[in-house]
Amino acid sequence: MVQDSLAGVKVLDLSQYIPGPFATLLLADLGAEVVKVEPPQGDPMAAFEPCDGDGISPYYKAVNAGKTVVRLDLKTVEGKAAFERLVVRADVLLESFRPGVMERLGFGPDHLRALNPGLVHCALSGFGQTGPWRLRAGHDITYMALAGVLGLNGPAAQPPHMPFPPVADHVSALGAVTAVLGALLRKARTGQGATLDVSIFESALHLNYQALLLASRGGGPDREADLLNGGAACYRAYRCADGGFLAVGALEPKFWHAFCNAVGRPEWVARQAEPLPQTSLIEDVAAALETRPLGHWTHLLENVDCCVEPVLTPAEALAQPHVQDRCLAAGGPGGLDLRFPAWSDSRPPAPRKSYREENFETVIALWQ
């Protein structure tokens, strides 16, 4: 199974909040043994509201599922010595400090290589280890703003909409996992470790390749003006009579043709090629769809091959038969286990175990 791909790989996780822990969650899903090293006071994310009766945030439980948590004070001699013992045994170290922090703690790249030449060290930071922004603080909204992503979302006449879930945080985690897996493949061939520098901002920039490509040619999409960000009538969300929303993704002519005929507006078919932004056509579609409740349109279009779906709430999404049939969601850490989104050899993803806290000596014994 894909969940056994990294069996035997030992991962040290020095990260907090979302990007790093989500990256190591995926490594754990692939079978790696992840030990999360937290400071004596723990990961601040554990206190994110809403907290459960035990005072621990379900978000923390979910993103750290399957890991072993140990607390060390890396500012003390004892803590440094203990951490060195873990580094010697590890295959991967992922940390999310600002540049310079690892060096101040005594674990710069040279010392890490001396301890373990085969170590894959991934530094996941806001802006990378070099450059004029390297020490700048940030969060998902600011990374997205600087990468030119935030300004492309939402109605043109209003402030940009904040994408949710945090896109830059999670795409940087995926980038970190990809880099780590590549480094592990090289290590298997050569025995050589790696020092990886992954940036949350640059991950968002990389994700925005379509808009940046146009900008490099002197153009670039404005909000609600491009094919994929609200400028096309065939690709946007519309309000229905009851306040629900319908997502229309009928990009291909065959889908648009089927949609127009199903809703009784065959005259719209030829208008798909109107110049962007298609303000007039959008207004016509919006006026028509607002005459009936969402349920009417979903029932009408249920068996029409046109890429049109209702905009669901999270609770409605979880209740969909397809989600249940694919074994993607069940009770688990934090109250819900959203499992690794890949089947392997015709088998669904395995359930995750809850994280567990252990003392240092127990962890070292497990990693002998």
* 329 pLDDT higher than 60: yes
- Rounded CA-CA distance 123/198 in Å is 6
User: Which DSSP symbol is given to 64?
Assistant: T
pTM value is 0.93
Place 162 in a pLDDT band, splitting at 50, 70 and 90.
confident
- Rounded CA-CA distance 247/238 in Å is 7
pLDDT at 182: 98
Q: Is 111 a catalytic residue?
A: no
Residue in 73, 111, 139, 222 annotated catalytic:
139
CB 31 within 8 Å of CB 9: yes
* 293 pLDDT higher than 90: yes
Residue in 29, 43, 91, 169 annotated catalytic:
169
Dihedral sign from CA coordinates of 185, 186, 189, 190: negative
Residues 330-360 pLDDT 10s: 888 888 888 999 998 899 988 899 999 999 9
pLDDT at 170: 97
Mean pLDDT of 257-266: 98
Q: Is 170 a catalytic residue?
A: no
Residues 28-58 pLDDT 10s: 999 999 999 999 999 999 999 999 999 999 9
CATH value of 235-317 in 3.40.50.1980, 3.30.1540.10, 3.90.78.10, 1.10.10.10 = 3.30.1540.10
Which residue ranges make up each domain of the chain?
2-207+331-366, 235-317
Sheet with 356-357, strands from edge to edge, namely: 194-199, 120-125, 92-95, 10-13, 33-38, 68-71, 356-357
Mean pLDDT of 248-261: 98
pLDDT at 356: 94
Domain 2-207+331-366: CATH superfamily, name plus number: Crotonobetainyl-coa:carnitine coa-transferase; domain 1 (3.40.50.10540)
